[in-house]
């Protein structure tokens, strides 16, 4: 008759373990009790009815049958019962140990997960506070405070990959919208870039954090004289930006949008401009050893530009003006020169150009 209350207790503990109103540790304790109870019940069945059935007996021994047993048989029966009970107890201890070890591991894992979640939440809160303070610094009237805000944003971009895009978009907006000293029309155009604008550009140019960010918008920016040597400007939008006399030597402008951009007398030695849309003013620009493969230079102004050793494979220079350009060692294989002005170019002859490039009746030699 003891099987009925034991079974009821196991069922009750199992049902209670599913109650969401009970704390997690309580539910796991009830689940452990239910498992231990189920193990006890299983062992009782195995050493009782199941064992007798396997031995060919259908019922327990009667009182008369026990009286017929010899003393030796009684001692052996008692020893067998003790051995069975010891094994059952050992099994219960093992099962209980496994259950409570599993419970302990689960509780530890839950605690660690909760701790890590709390830590992540705290870290994100700190990053948000740092970000808010850094953005506020950008609006300061003091140069040193603005510089501090710029470099604080760079650190945030490195510490928090999820915020990289936002950080660099903010810096790009700062560059686009930041007021500059009015230009005196009586003086030469070129003047030094403000220190904070240059700092923001430097940070943008070395964006090589845990993951890259999408294209940035620097269109219509006044960046003449900027120093961006070896900068990462992949895919950047420089539409109608002013980069006259800027230093972009070794910069990566792969896929950049440079339409209508002023790059007069700029330094682009060794720059990567592959597949860039470069319909710009490159008068007297230095493009030596530059990678211009499949770049779009249609209608571009390259008068007096230096293109020694530049790779123009597959580039489109339709209607471009290369008057007086230096093409010594330039690779013009498959270059489109339809309607281009090639008068007075240096370093290559008309016949050499016709052998490798694509020209038409409108190409001017």
> In the numeric block, which tokens belong to residue 135?
């953005």
Q: CA angle at residue 114 from 111 to 115, to 5 degrees?
A: 85
Below-70 pLDDT ranges, the chain: 1-20, 24-28, 30, 35-36, 39-71, 73-82, 84-86, 88-89, 91-93, 95-96, 99-100, 103, 107, 110-111, 114-115, 118-125, 179-191, 209-214
How many angstroms separate the CA atoms of 217 and 138, rounded? 18
Quote the pLDDT of residue 267: 96
Quote the pLDDT of residue 126: 81
Contacts 24+ apart (CB under 8 A), 11-17: 13/37
Q: CA angle at residue 353 from 352 to 358, to 5 degrees?
A: 140
How many angstroms separate the CA atoms of 348 and 365, rounded? 11
Which residues are bridge partners to 339 per DSSP?
none
Q: Where are the domains of the chain?
A: 3-118
Quote the pLDDT of residue 210: 44
Looking at residue 154, the DSSP 8-state letter turns out to be H
Quote the pLDDT of residue 109: 73
CB 313 within 8 A of CB 294: yes
What is the chain's Cα-based Rg?
41
Quote the pLDDT of residue 230: 94
How many angstroms separate the CA atoms of 346 and 324, rounded? 7
Q: What is the pTM of this model?
A: 0.67
């Amino acid at each position: 008759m003891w099987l009925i209350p034991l079974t009821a207790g196991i069922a009750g503990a199992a049902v209670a373990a599913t109650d969401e109103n009970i704390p997690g540790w309580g539910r796991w304790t009830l689940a452990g009790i239910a498992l231990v109870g189920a193990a006890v019940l299983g062992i009782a069945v195995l050493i009782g009815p199941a064992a007798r059935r396997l031995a060919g007996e259908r019922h327990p021994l009667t009182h008369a049958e026990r009286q017929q047993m010899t003393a030796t048989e009684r001692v052996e029966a008692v020893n067998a019962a003790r051995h069975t009970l010891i094994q059952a107890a050992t099994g219960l201890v093992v099962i209980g140990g496994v259950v409570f070890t599993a419970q302990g591991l689960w509780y530890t894992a839950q605690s660690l997960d909760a701790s890590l979640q709390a830590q992540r939440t705290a870290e994100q809160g700190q990053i948000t506070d740092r970000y808010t303070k850094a953005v506020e610094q950008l609006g300061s009237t003091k140069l040193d405070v603005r510089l501090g805000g710029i470099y604080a944003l760079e650190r945030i971009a490195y510490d928090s990959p999820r915020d990289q895009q936002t950080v660099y978009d903010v810096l790009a907006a700062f560059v686009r919208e930041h007021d500059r000293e009015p230009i005196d029309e009586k003086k030469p155009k070129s003047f030094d870039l403000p220190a904070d604008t240059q700092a923001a550009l430097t940070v943008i140019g070395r964006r090589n954090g845990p993951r890259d960010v999408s294209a940035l918008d620097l269109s219509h920016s006044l960046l003449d004289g900027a120093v961006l040597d070896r900068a990462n400007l992949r895919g950047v939008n420089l539409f109608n930006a002013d980069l006259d006399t800027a230093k972009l030597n070794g910069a990566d402008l792969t896929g950049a949008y440079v339409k209508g951009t002023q790059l007069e007398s700029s330094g682009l030695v060794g720059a990567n401009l592959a597949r860039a849309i470069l319909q710009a003013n490159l008068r007297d620009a230095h493009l030596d050893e530059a990678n211009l493969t499949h770049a779009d230079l249609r209608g571009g102004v390259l008068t007096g530009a230096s293109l020694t050793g530049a790779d123009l494979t597959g580039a489109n220079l339709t209607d471009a003006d290369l008057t007086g350009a230096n093409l010594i060692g330039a690779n013009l294989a498959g270059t489109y020169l339809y309607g281009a002005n090639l008068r007075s170019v240096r370093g290559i002859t008309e016949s050499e150009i016709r052998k490798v490039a694509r020209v038409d009746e409108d190409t001017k030699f």
